[in-house]
Every structure is written in structure tokens, then in C-alpha cells.
A and B are shown apart, each in its own frame.
Chain A
């Protein structure tokens, strides 16, 4: 990778039972995907406080991935529905904060979907490369 090329930084909140395990599976089956994601293990997508997402964006993450179990399959009964509501509401206010809502992805990736995990990271990285850096970073130099 050339030094001047923009490489997005992605923070991933991966639920322990589905998406984290899917990432394990992607690794076990040696699927290759970009290194841009920094995985953080959470017990449930429903335990991802919207503040974490905002914190990540304000700290300069170019993208945030929240990964949970498919609707109906949550290990904790309904945590993913809570995540879905929170992220939906969060997206409506991000733009007013000067943060771009398309930088936040909520995806359902089950423990069996190693391929979907690898594809999601690849696609998100690609999209963010096109979008360019998170605009909050420009305030840092002022």
C-alpha cells in the first residue's frame, strides 16, 4: 500500500455469539479480507451503547460496524432488536452532529456465516475508501 493512499479505520463491535464467532470461522477457513477492521468483542449487539459508536466516530474511526445475530436468533432473546432500534435512531441524529450516518453499518452475521463476515468487511472497507476520511478529523488540525 502506498503511503499517500487513504486506508479507512473501522471499529467493529462484534457480538460474542454470532459475529465474533463468524469472524473466528472466517479465520479458521482462511478467508482473506482487508486488515482495516479493529474487532472489539461485546457480549451482545444490544450491549453496544450508541455512545460507543459516537465515541469511535469522534475519535476518528472512518467506519463503525456493529455485528449481531440474525433477527430471532439473539443469544439473549432480543438484544439484536434493541441494537436495531438504537442504531436506527442514532443514524437520524448523526448527521446533525456533523457525522455521516453511512459510516455506521449494522449487520446480522450468524456464527455460520464466515463468508458473510469477510465479504462485509471487504465491502465496507471498499465503500469507505471511496467516501474518504471521516470529516471530523479536519477539526483536529484547527
Chain B
């Protein structure tokens, strides 16, 4: 017989504000099986936890119902409390009366209280029949997979590798480094990114614990924490790396050109190319732009290659690896500016990353500020912030967080290159909320004479040699027209293309914009709901470099603590067979998505491989005889919960 204790949390006023907690305790204290019920202002606090411990001791409780917030927050907390008193942690269940009751029913205390009581009663019914379970020990592969080789991925890989564990770093482009390598400088220190990022790239490439897979993508992921199996697809580069000695003859002779991704289309590259500062230094042939792959007989590179390294017949290869944990650091892209019809598509209306390239000493203009259309040094430059961001009409209601600062930085760098030029910045609000940021913006205004105009721009269009910008200054109330030489749009950060498809392969969640979702926004910001998979950098949300590096290190430290264990514990709420009842029909075998069940041919009964069973419960729902049961989610438990739930509504 279970002796059940019910503990109702006020959560300050979060629960007590709309649920009459004292009445809940009154209603539940005489419910069958309940021998103890009390309420307290914060059950998760130390004194709250002590109340639970004390009641377990004094009333010999062996079933605990914690009526408080979602199990995603404190199930683990309270199961640990219960375990500290020597009880099996699976005798504790959460009745979620905050997220599912007090919060969404904030204005009708009467019905919210009744619903809270019903939720608690149903949970009592579940606890009554919960059995004691012990997590199973499963092996742990101490090797990590990092997806994405930008700053976030590199930082995470280095942290884990420096901790002594092997890391596979998969990057889909031919080089690691990510967008940071395109930047002209950082705010507020104006460091040149090559000085920041290049050493990291080299460190990653040379680290004995890091195995780089560039020009590769994730094909398939299966398994679970500690025991994932990943298939990495290596795209064909059409060049045999071991033969190529980077003599460069092929580069000189390749006749096909393509807008260079690294310069965001402001320069051309060959179909066969090596990105500037590429790590590793490996050439690739891009089949989209190569004449050979587009119906032509061209073999120019093959003909000149002295090492015979060109292989047009190269195929993609699949590498299969076991890993214990995964970090997703797939980064960002920019909002497609074509979607803002009011801003003309014009060579001199460019996005922020394009201007980074123009400002960069390694960029298409060699660091001289020259506009794309005619190479003229622009004397009047207009920056427009929040293009796409904070704009629900274009599907991006969020703030991209980095644009205020990079626009200020770009304006300052522009002024320092073209001191007699004028920089205008149209802004909505200036968000400069980190160390040294506000001071930087003030310096841009005062020392560098950047003119900030608070208002939106309604139209940008070509007018002869100039770009006309129509806007408004809401502080003076005047409409403004500027004849600019160059217009820079601070377009919103959006998730990298393909992030959603990858999230599906990994079974992790993304939000309505496609950013990957953390397990909890406050308390578990680097984990996902799928254990063993973590997030880093801008794949999760717009971030600047320091925030990206912190989140990457945060994820890496989670993996380091995971790998510091000897072995892993596997949730024991899995399927089990009552061999007395099982007829060996095999329905469960065919429905199991994990191939965790097999039929013992000799005894004609189903057998569950406990290390492989993920505990979804599909087999139990299929079993025609009821022999297959989902531990602590049994049909009997559901029936009792259903009966409570359908008890008269009012």
C-alpha cells in the first residue's frame, strides 16, 4: 500500500495567485492513499525540500506528488530529494499545476482551483501504481560531434579536445572559420578578425584530438545520449587531396567564374577554388559553376595538373562514426533583402556582410572603401538598421541584436578610411547593452561625427549617379532626403539554410523562425530536450562574438562533465513483457522503431533489449493481450487517471 504525500507549492503568487492552495490541500488530504498534504510558498527552496524530507521520515511516505511547475523544471530536483531519503526516485511524480493551470487560467480562481485538484488527483493515481525502478547502466562513447565550423563550433571543439576527448568537427563548406572570417573588425575593440579567428582555425586544424570533416554534411543520426551513430556525407571535391600539392596551375587555367561566396558576390572566383585563408588548404571544384559538369567538354584543370590530382568521377562517401554527444552550431544567414521591395536592388545598395568585405583589408577592394557599381569612393553613406528585423510584416518580429553595434562599427571604420565622408545611420532604437558598447556608440557620434537619425526609411532608389534615400527623422519631425553614394542595409539574422532539416534528423526542436530551441530558456539554455545534444552560437538565436563563444564553451563544458562519468544511466521507464501472458505474436517487434524487441524463438515470447528501448510505449499500445507494459505508464495507471479526469467537470 502506498502512503502518499502531496506537496502543493505556491510558487510565490505564480500558483497561489490563481489557485486557492489551502483549499487544494483541504480537498486532497482525505483522498484515498493520501496520508499527508501541505502547502508551502516555495517547495523548490531549501526549506521547502526539507519539508518533503521531514514528511517522508515522519509519516513513512513512499509515494510523493509534487504539485508545482512543469516536470521539465523540477522533476529531477524532487526525485533527488526523494532519493536522499532512501526512497526510490520513481515514486515521485509532478502534478503540473503552474504551466498547465494557474498561468493559463489566471482570472477564474474557482475553476482553476478545481482543475488543479483534478490534476493532482490524477497524479496521485499514477504514483499509487508506480513501481520502483533503477536506471540501467549503458556504455558511453567519449567522442563528440560538433556540427558547424564557425566560431561557435571551433570554440566548442577546442574546449572538448583540450579536455582530452576526441572531437569530430563537420563543416559543410570547404573551410572552417564561418562568417567571422568575413568581418572587417569587431566592436567595440576594432580588432581585425583574422588576428582573432585565424589562430583558432589553425589550432583546430592541428589539434591531435580534432578530426576535421570539411565539405561534409550530416546524413543520418540514430541512437541516444552516449551512443549516437552518425553518418557523415563527404561531398566530392573532385580533387585527390593526397596528390594535390597546391601548385595553383589549375586555378590559373580554369575558365569558369562564379560570384565568390566569401566576398558575398562582390568578386568572382573560379569554378575550381580555394577560399582565402581556407583551413584546411584544399581545393574544390564546384559542380554548379564548373563547365565540365554543365554539359561542356572542358578538362582544362585536368590537362594542366602535373600531379594528376583531378578526378571528375569522384563520388560522395559516407563515413559512419559513433559519438556520445553532439553540439549543433550551424550559425546564421542574412534575411533576403529582396523581400523588402521598397529598397531597390542596386549594386550600390548592399547588406552588412558585403560592406564588411569592402572594409576588410583582404576584401575585393583591398580595404579601400569603393562602391561596387563604379569603384568610386563614396562620400555620402547611409546605413539603415532593422531591415527585416523588428518587422512582423516580413516575418521577423525579433531584434537581431548585433546590427546596432556592427552598424556603428562600420560607420566608424568608414569614417577612419574616408575622413571627409559623411555617414548617416537611420535607427529605431540603439541597443548597446554589453561591456563597452554604449561608450562605443557615443564615441561614433561624438568623435567620428556619425549622424544618427531616429526614424525609418520609406524608399531607396537609383537617381542617376546617386542613390536617393527617403526617410524621416522622428525627433525633429522632418522628412529627410539624402542623395547617397552607397546604402548599407543591416538585414536581420536568420537561421542558416538547412538548419530545420538537420534539426529533424537530430530530433531536436526549432521555433517558428527556425532557430533551435533550448531545453529551458532560463535554466537549461545550452541543452536541447534530446539529451546528449547541445546548442552553440547563432543557430539558437542572434548573438555577437562574445555571446557565441560563451554559449559554445557552455555546451562544451556540459559534454566534458558528461564524459567525465564512467558510464551513463538510461531511463528505466521502458517496456517490459509479462511472459505468462505473451503469445509471441510479434506485433510489438514490427512496431518498435528501435528494433529493441525480438521474439525468443524457443519460448515464443517477446524479449525487450533494455539498453536499446527508448521507452516510447508504442509496443504496449499495440500489444493485443496486454502482456507488453510500459513501466510506470501502464494501462491500469492510465485508466485510473482517465477516471479522475472524467470525474464531473465542475
**Partner-B contacts on A (CB < 8 A):** 1, 7-9, 11, 17-18, 21, 23-28, 30-33, 35-36, 38-44, 46-52, 55-56, 59-61, 72-79, 82, 86, 110-113, 118
Q: B163-190 vs A: 1/0 string, CB under 8 Å?
A: 0000000000000000000000000000
In contact, A56 and B642 (Cβ under 8 angstroms): yes
B107 touches A (CB below 8 Å): yes
A7-B649, A35-B105, A49-B620 known; A112 and B630 CB under 8 Å? no
Q: Which of B153-161, B195-203, B282-290, B631-639 contacts A (4 or more CB under 8 A)?
A: B631-639
Q: Name the distance in Å between A117's Cβ and chain B's nearest Cβ.
A: 9
A73: chain B residues at CB < 8 Å are 504, 507
CA distance A83 to B646 in the complex (A): 22
Cα(A113)–Cα(B569), bound, Å:
31
Q: List 5 A-B contacts (CB under 8 A).
A: A1-B111, A43-B615, A43-B616, A47-B618, A82-B618
Kindly list chain B residues whose C-beta atoms are within 8 Å of the C-beta of A28. Answer: 99, 103
Which of A7, A27, A43, A76 makes the CB contact (< 8 A) with B99? A27
The residue on A at minimum CB distance from B530 is A75
> Judging by beta carbons under 8 Å apart, are B618 and A44 in contact?
yes
- State which of B115, B511, B530, B630 has its C-beta within 8 Å of the C-beta of A38: B115
Identify 11 new A-B residue pairs, CB closer than 8 A, beyond the known A7-B649, A111-B517. A9-B646, A21-B529, A24-B70, A27-B99, A30-B104, A33-B104, A46-B618, A46-B621, A55-B639, A56-B642, A82-B622
Q: Is B620 touching A11 in the complex (CB atoms < 8 A)?
A: no
In the bound complex, residues from chain B placing their C-beta under 8 Å from that of A118 are: 104
B607-650 interface bits toward A, Cβ cutoff 8 Å, 1 = contact, 0 = none:
00000001111101110000000100101001101111110111
Given contacts A39-B96, A59-B643, contact A21 B618 (CB under 8 A): no
- Verify A40–B529 contact, CB threshold 8 A: no
Asked if residues A7 and B512 are in contact (CB atoms below 8 Å), the reply is no
If A21-B529, A38-B119 touch, whether A47 touches B633 (CB-CB below 8 Å) is yes
CB distance from B542 to the nearest CB of A (A): 17
* Residues in A whose Cβ lies below 8 Å from that of B370: none
Contact call B620/A24, Cβ cutoff below 8 A: no
B100 touches A23 (CB 8 A): yes
On whether the beta carbons of A27 and B103 are closer than 8 Å, the reply is: yes
Nearest-CB distance from B571 to chain A (Å)?
10
Query: Are A78 and B529 CB-contacts (below 8 A) given A43-B615, A61-B645?
Result: no
Cα–Cα, bound, A30→B614 (Å): 33
Any chain A CB within 8 A of the CB of B98?
A: yes
Whole-angstrom distance between the alpha carbons of A23 and B105 in the complex? Answer: 12
Q: Are A44 and B72 in contact (CB under 8 A)?
A: no
In the complex the two chains form, what is the Cα distance from A142 to B534 in whole Å?
Answer: 58
Give 10 nearest A-B pairs by CB, closest first.
Answer: A47-B617, A27-B99, A38-B645, A76-B616, A27-B103, A77-B593, A59-B646, A9-B649, A49-B621, A46-B618
A75-B594 Cα distance, complex, nearest whole Å = 12
Contact between chains at B616 and A44 (CB < 8 Å): yes
Chain B residues contacting A74 (CB-CB under 8 Å) are: 507
**Max count, chain B CB within 10 A of own CB: residue among A1, A30, A38, A110:** A38
Q: Nearest chain-A residue to B108 (Cβ)?
A: A35
How many of chain B's residues touch chain A, expressed as a range?
35 or more
- Name the residue of chain A whose CB is nearest to the CB of B112: A35
Contact between chains at B593 and A27 (CB < 8 Å): no
Q: Is the interface of A mostly helix, strand, loop or mixed?
A: loop
- Chain A residues whose CB sits within 8 angstroms of the CB of B106 once the complex forms: 30, 32
Q: Could you tell me which B residues sit within 8 Å of A by CB distance?
A: 70-72, 96, 98-108, 111-112, 114-115, 118-119, 122, 504, 507, 509-512, 517, 529-530, 573, 591, 593-594, 614-618, 620-622, 630, 633, 635, 638-639, 641-646, 648-650
Are B104 and A36 touching (Cβ within 8 A)?
A: no
Whether B618 and A51, one on each chain, are in contact in the complex, defined by CB atoms closer than 8 angstroms, is: no
- Complex contacts, A55 vs chain B, CB 8 Å: 638-639, 642-643
Which residues of the partner chain A approach B591 to less than 8 Å between Cβ atoms? 82
CA distance A74 to B505 in the complex (A): 10
Q: Shortest beta-carbon distance, A46 to chain B, in Å?
A: 4
Chain A minimum-CB-distance residue to B104: A27
CB distance from A133 to the nearest CB of B (A): 10
Pick the residue among A24, A49, A76 that contacts B638 (CB under 8 A): A49
- In angstroms, Cα B573 to Cα A86, docked, is 23
A24 to B630 alpha-carbon distance, docked (Å): 24
A25 and B103 CA atoms in complex are apart in Å by: 10
- Which chain A residues lie closer than 8 Å to B594 at the CB level? 77
Contact B529 A17 (CB under 8 A): yes
CB of B228 to closest CB in A, whole Å: 14
A82 to chain B, nearest CB (A): 5
What is the CA–CA distance of A58 and B101 in the complex, to the nearest angstrom?
25
A49 with B635: CB separation less than 8 A: yes
Distance from A100 Cβ to chain B, minimum over Cβ atoms (Å)? 16
**CB proximity of B530 to chain A, nearest CB, Å:** 7
Given contacts A21-B529, A27-B103, A73-B504, contact A43 B645 (CB under 8 A): no
Interface centre among B114, B507, B620, B635 (most CB of A within 10 A): B507
Q: A21 CA to B106 CA in the complex, in Å?
A: 19
| Partner pick for A52 among B103, B618, B638, CB 8 A cutoff | B638
Q: Are B118 and A46 in contact (CB under 8 A)?
A: no
From A1, A31, A44, A59, B617 is in contact (CB under 8 Å) with A44
Most buried by B among A32, A46, A60, A113: A46
Instruction: Determine if B99 and A23 form an interchain contact, defined as CB atoms under 8 angstroms apart.
Output: yes
CA distance A40 to B643 in the complex (A): 11
Shortest beta-carbon distance from A27 to chain B in Å: 3
Contact between A21 and B104, CB atoms less than 8 A apart = no
If A46-B616, A55-B639, A78-B593 touch, whether A40 touches B512 (CB-CB below 8 Å) is no
Q: Using known A-B contacts A24-B100, A43-B615, A118-B104, determine if residue A51 contacts B635 with beta carbons closer than 8 Å.
A: yes
Nearest CB of A to B185, in Å: 36
Q: How far apart are the CA atoms of A51 and B622 in the complex, in Å?
A: 10
Alpha-carbon distance between A101 and B638 when the two chains are bound, in angstroms: 21
A1, A47, A86 — most chain B CB neighbours (10 Å): A47
Indicate if the CB atoms of A11 and B642 lie closer than 8 Å. yes
